[in-house]
Amino acid sequence: MRIARFAAAGLISTGTHIAVALSLTYLGWGPGLANGCAFCVALLVSWYLNTVWTFGQSPARAQFARYTAVSALGLVATVAIAELVRTAGGTDLMGIAVVVLLVPVMTYSLHAIWTFAR
């Protein structure tokens, strides 16, 4: 059940990112700034949902710092995997598929053993 909640929280935070980024670009913000702001909003949504709903804990500042570190590692892994797949001759779609298969497993595992460890 916890993995399903983690996946749902990921979909909700992704939707949040898209909605915020599109809204800000509609208001005239550049894509870099709009996506940067959208990432921050989605990170807060993701952290809160995963803290309270997925892992059943109360929000805490130190936990947010760990959550942010895991999220940053997920971003680095996403970029690295996509580039490795492309360098190996794969398509962009293949890179996305590998990222979608590997990065959520990595981040869930790190959150379970570190971010939300009891």
Q: What is the pLDDT of residues 41-77, one digit of tens each?
A: 999 999 999 999 999 999 999 999 999 999 999 999 9
Has residue 4 got a pLDDT over 90? yes
Distance CA 24, CA 38 (A): 9
pTM: 0.90
Cβ(52)–Cβ(59) under 8 Å? yes
Every domain of the chain and the residues it spans: 1-57, 60-118
Q: What is the pLDDT of residues 98-111, one digit of tens each?
A: 999 999 999 999 99
Distance CA 32, CA 66 (A): 25
Has residue 118 got a pLDDT over 90? no
